[in-house]
Structure 1
Amino acid sequence: MSFKIAIIGAGSVGFTKKLFTDILCVPEFKDIEFALTDISEHNLGMIKAILDRIVEANGLPTKVTATTDRRKALEGARYIISCVRVGGLEAYADDIRIPLKYGIDQCVGDTICAGGILYGQRNIPVILDFCKDIREVAETDAKFLNYANPMAMNTWAAIEYGEVDTVGLCHGVQHGAEQIAEVLGTKSPRELDYVCSGINHQTWFIELRLNGRPIGKDELVAAFEAHPVYSKQEKLRIDVLKRFGVYSTESNGHLSEYLPWYRKRPDEITRWIDMSDWIHGETGGYLRYSTETRNWFETEYPQFLEAASKPIDPAKRSNEHASHILEALETNRVYRGHFNVKNNGVITNLPHDAIIESPGFVDRLGINMAAGITLPEACAATCMSSINVQRMSVHAAIAGDIDLLKLAVLHDPLVGAVSTPEEVWQMVDEMVVAQAAWLPQYADAVPAAKDRLAKSKVKTREWAGAARRNVRSIEELRAEKAALKQAG
């Protein structure tokens, strides 16, 4: 087979390498072309060198090109994969820092909450530019695979306004299934059959069977509470499981910021989170992790390049959906996964226009969703709170409507539990002004926002958050990795 895959944001070096090696685990794909594009020539150069080394080491005819000219990369592409982070770590730091001044403590801030909503405002104009190029220069009926957060908002904009065949992809379901399989005493998630449905980062394991045997709430609660690690790291998720009756796919830290109950007071935050790793609820945890990862990669790049000389091992193909979807579409080998698509009645008790994450099957005819799923009422209610915020956020981003943007932030569950309307209005003004370089649709609103900020009497505070850790130096990271290696 010979076709072209374009990867936008290919400078996300580790993730691009994973997608690349996964796809080349499919024997029929050895003759394809990968076109890498990014705004950073430096990152493009690093990832191209790594992928070239992989191709050479494995004796493959695969073609790899790299360009900062996105339109050139998309020319003739059959599949386009996006893993962009618009605004980079600079804008992301504001997504965490500014809401903290108003008492809003986020662990990740990339899906909803104040940070996730502003992240969507930065992404959506860029997503629409991608879609325009796809319509004009890619293969007819090219498929757009979006990995970038905020998943639901980006996918919503691409489908409704970009008019491109789009699917959103995430790995939260797979990771949740791995946890459940482990606490139930099996190391193989393949022995676990499940139906997981909802919206991205709020997807729910509504049916579980282990080797054909149904697993109920009480058994699952007991299994998690007996686990020596998860009982400490996933306290919030276990509490939600007890109250809702079903387990959430999302990590302890992520889930905590989508709900109005666990992060609204500093003493409650420390009660429900775990500081053993960023993902369990640390203030600004993902920002710290991303910063450390970038610094580590820049410093240790020669090691990453050397590791690229190893043969590709199909047994180590990851459970990221992209390679499996492409294999199913091109070879007709059926793949079952969980995909972010427009609802259109798939989940009976969520709106038709919402972007849902739910089971589907892929073959040469496309992605076919399993329809007629009804969520438990509490799960649907929680999803609805986020869907309403997502819808307003997308519409605000399209129109450049700062008033609608403020209403979207006001209706966010955690923001509403912490902040007053006056605080929300000022916070949004401050975030829009700080991020104006990445928000072209709000250019006309920035002068008035600056004027309101100059006259505002709403008080803020300088606060690092309830559970903040400092970014570790390269030396500290080396020492920690060495200690872990020695202990293992």
Structure 2
Amino acid sequence: MSFKIAIIGAGSVGFTKKLFTDILCVPEFKGIEFALTDVSEHNLQMIKAILDRIVEANKLPTKVTATTDRRKALEGARYVISCVRVGGLEAYADDIRIPLKYGIDQCVGDTICAGGILYGQRNIPVILDFCKDIRDVAETDAKFLNYANPMAMNTWAAIEYGKVDTVGLCHGVQHGAEQIAEVLGAKSPRELDYVCSGINHQTWFIELRLNGREIGKDELVAAFEAHPVYSRQEKLRIDVLKRFGVYSTESNGHLSEYLPWYRKRPDEITRWIDMSDWIHGETGGYLRYSTETRNWFETEYPQFLEAASKPIDPSKRSNEHASHILEALETNRVYRGHFNVKNDGVITNLPQDAIVESPGFVDRFGINMAAGITLPEACAATCMSSINVQRMSVHAAISGDIDLLKLAVLHDPLVGAVSTPEEVWQMVDEMVVAQAAWLPQFAHAVPAAKERLSRSRVKTREWAGAARRSVRSIEELRAEKAALKQAG
């Protein structure tokens, strides 16, 4: 087969390498073209060298190009994959730092909550630029695969305003299923059959069967509470399972910031999180992890390049959806997964315009969603709170309406549980001013926001959060890696 895949944000080196090797595990795809594009020439050259080494080591006819000219990369592409982080770690640091001044403690802050909403404001204008280029220069009816967060907002904007065939992809469902299979004693995740449905990062395992046997709430609670690791790392998820009756796909730390109950009191936060890894609830955990990963990659790049000389092992193909979707579309080998799409009847008790994450099947006719799913009422209610915030956030990003943006932030479940309206209004002004370079749609509102900040009397505080850790140095990371290797 011969077609072109464009990857936007290809400077996300580790993820791009994973997508690349996954796709080349499909035998029919050996002769395709990958066009890499990113705003960073430096990162582009690093990832291109790694992918070129993979191609050379495996004696493949695969073509790899790299350019900072996005439009050129998209010319003639059949598939476009986005994994961008608009504003990079600089803007992301403000997504965590500024809300902390107002008492809002986030673990990740890239989906909703104050940080996720501002992240969406940075992303959506760029996503619409991608869509325009796709309509103009890609193959007719090219498919846009969005991996970038905030998943629902980005996908919503691309479908409703970008007018491009778009699907949002995430790995939360797969990871949750792996956990459930493990606690139930399955030999392989394949033994677990499940229906998982909701919205991205608030998706719920509403049906579970292990080797054909139905698994109920009580058995699942007992299995998680008996597990020597998850009983400690997933305390909040287990509590939600007990109260809602179904398990959530999202990590302990992520889930904690989507709900109004677990992170609103600083003295309560440590009760529900675990500090063994960032993903279990650490304040600004993903920001720290991302910073350390970038620094580590920059320093250890020669080792990453050397590792690229190894043969591709199809048995190590990941469970990221992209390669499996492309394989199904191009070869008609059917693939079942969970995809982010416009609702349109998929989930009966969520709004029809919302972006939902639910089961679907892929073949040469496209992505075909299982329709008519009804969520448990508590799950639907929790999803609705986020959907309302997502809808307002998308419309604010499109219109540049700072008042609507403030209302979106005010209605966020955790923000509303922690902050007063006055605090929210000032916080949004501060975030828009700090991130003005990435928010062109709000340029007209920045002068007035600065003026309001100059005379504001809302008190803030310098607070690191309830469970903050410092970014580790390269030397510390090396020492930790060596200790783990010796212990293992």
**Distance of aligned partners of 1:436 and 1:187 in 2 relative to their CA distance in 1, 3 Å threshold:** farther
SS of the residue corresponding to residue 149 of structure 2 reads coil
Name the counterpart of 1:7.
7
Name the counterpart of 1:323.
323
1:55-74 to 2 correspondence within 5 Å? Answer: 55-74=55-74
1:318, CA displacement in angstroms? Answer: 0.2
1:124, CA displacement in angstroms? Answer: 0.1
**Distance of aligned partners of 1:292 and 1:187 in 2 relative to their CA distance in 1, 3 Å threshold:** farther
Q: Which range is displaced more, 183-192 or 421-430?
A: 183-192
Query: Separation in 1 of the partners of 2:78 and 2:84?
Result: 19
Q: Deviations over 1:89-148 (max 9, x none)?
A: 000000000000000000000000000000000000000000000000000000000000
Q: Deviations over 1:404-449 (max 9, x none)?
A: 0000000000000000000000000000000000000000000000
Name the counterpart of 2:170.
170
Name the counterpart of 2:179.
179
Any stretches of 5+ residues in structure 1 without a counterpart?
none
Q: Deviations over 1:449-484 (max 9, x none)?
A: 000000100000000000000000000000000000
Q: Deviations over 1:299-326 (max 9, x none)?
A: 0000000000000000000000000000
Q: Deviations over 1:326-369 (max 9, x none)?
A: 00000000000000000001100000000000000000000000
Name the counterpart of 1:469.
469
Name the counterpart of 1:389.
389
Query: Separation in 2 of the partners of 1:448 and 1:358?
Result: 42
1:202, CA displacement in angstroms? Answer: 0.2
Percent identical among aligned pairs is 95
Any stretches of 5+ residues in structure 2 without a counterpart?
none
Query: Separation in 2 of the partners of 1:125 and 1:318?
Result: 31
1:221, CA displacement in angstroms? Answer: 0.1
SS of the residue corresponding to residue 205 of structure 1 reads strand
Query: Separation in 1 of the partners of 2:316 and 2:110?
Result: 29
Q: Deviations over 1:193-233 (max 9, x none)?
A: 00000000000000000000000000000000000000000
TM-score, structure 2 normalization? 1.00
**Distance of aligned partners of 1:187 and 1:479 in 2 relative to their CA distance in 1, 3 Å threshold:** farther
Name the counterpart of 2:232.
232
SS of the residue corresponding to residue 224 of structure 2 reads helix
Q: Which range is displaced more, 102-111 or 182-191?
A: 182-191
1:123-162 to 2 correspondence within 5 Å? Answer: 123-162=123-162
Q: Deviations over 1:49-80 (max 9, x none)?
A: 00000000000000000000000000000000
Q: Deviations over 1:20-65 (max 9, x none)?
A: 0000000000010000000000000000000000000000000000
1:267, CA displacement in angstroms? Answer: 1.0
Query: Separation in 2 of the partners of 1:27 and 1:231?
Result: 41
1:385, CA displacement in angstroms? Answer: 0.1
Q: Does 1:269 align with 2:269?
A: yes
Query: Separation in 2 of the partners of 1:153 and 1:452?
Result: 28
Query: Separation in 2 of the partners of 1:486 and 1:365?
Result: 51
SS of the residue corresponding to residue 300 of structure 1 reads helix
SS of the residue corresponding to residue 258 of structure 2 reads coil
1:225-374 to 2 correspondence within 5 Å? Answer: 225-374=225-374
Q: Deviations over 1:147-180 (max 9, x none)?
A: 0000000000000000000000000000000000
Query: Separation in 1 of the partners of 2:409 and 2:32?
Result: 44
Name the counterpart of 1:40.
40
Query: Separation in 2 of the partners of 1:191 and 1:469?
Result: 38
1:85, CA displacement in angstroms? Answer: 0.1
1:186, CA displacement in angstroms? Answer: 1.4
Query: Separation in 1 of the partners of 2:346 and 2:131?
Result: 25
Query: Separation in 1 of the partners of 2:417 and 2:188?
Result: 40
Query: Separation in 2 of the partners of 1:259 and 1:316?
Result: 35
Query: Separation in 2 of the partners of 1:117 and 1:76?
Result: 33
Name the counterpart of 1:86.
86
Query: Separation in 1 of the partners of 2:349 and 2:176?
Result: 23
Query: Separation in 2 of the partners of 1:156 and 1:439?
Result: 18
1:388, CA displacement in angstroms? Answer: 0.1
Query: Separation in 1 of the partners of 2:187 and 2:340?
Result: 27
Name the counterpart of 1:441.
441
SS of the residue corresponding to residue 339 of structure 1 reads strand
1:187, CA displacement in angstroms? Answer: 3.7
Name the counterpart of 1:16.
16
Q: Which range is displaced more, 462-471 or 186-195?
A: 186-195
SS of the residue corresponding to residue 48 of structure 1 reads helix
1:252, CA displacement in angstroms? Answer: 0.1
Query: Separation in 1 of the partners of 2:187 and 2:198?
Result: 25
Name the counterpart of 2:453.
453
CA RMSD of aligned residues (A): 0.3
SS of the residue corresponding to residue 185 of structure 1 reads coil
1:237, CA displacement in angstroms? Answer: 0.1
Query: Separation in 2 of the partners of 1:380 and 1:268?
Result: 26
SS of the residue corresponding to residue 432 of structure 1 reads helix
SS of the residue corresponding to residue 468 of structure 1 reads coil
Query: Separation in 1 of the partners of 2:122 and 2:42?
Result: 22
Q: Deviations over 1:271-325 (max 9, x none)?
A: 0000000000000000000000000000000000000000000000000000000
TM-score, structure 1 normalization? 1.00
Query: Separation in 1 of the partners of 2:232 and 2:98?
Result: 30
SS of the residue corresponding to residue 207 of structure 2 reads strand
Name the counterpart of 1:218.
218
1:397-412 to 2 correspondence within 5 Å? Answer: 397-412=397-412
Query: Separation in 2 of the partners of 1:245 and 1:267?
Result: 27
Query: Separation in 2 of the partners of 1:379 and 1:287?
Result: 28
Query: Separation in 1 of the partners of 2:167 and 2:269?
Result: 34
Query: Separation in 2 of the partners of 1:347 and 1:286?
Result: 31
SS of the residue corresponding to residue 221 of structure 1 reads helix
SS of the residue corresponding to residue 286 of structure 2 reads helix
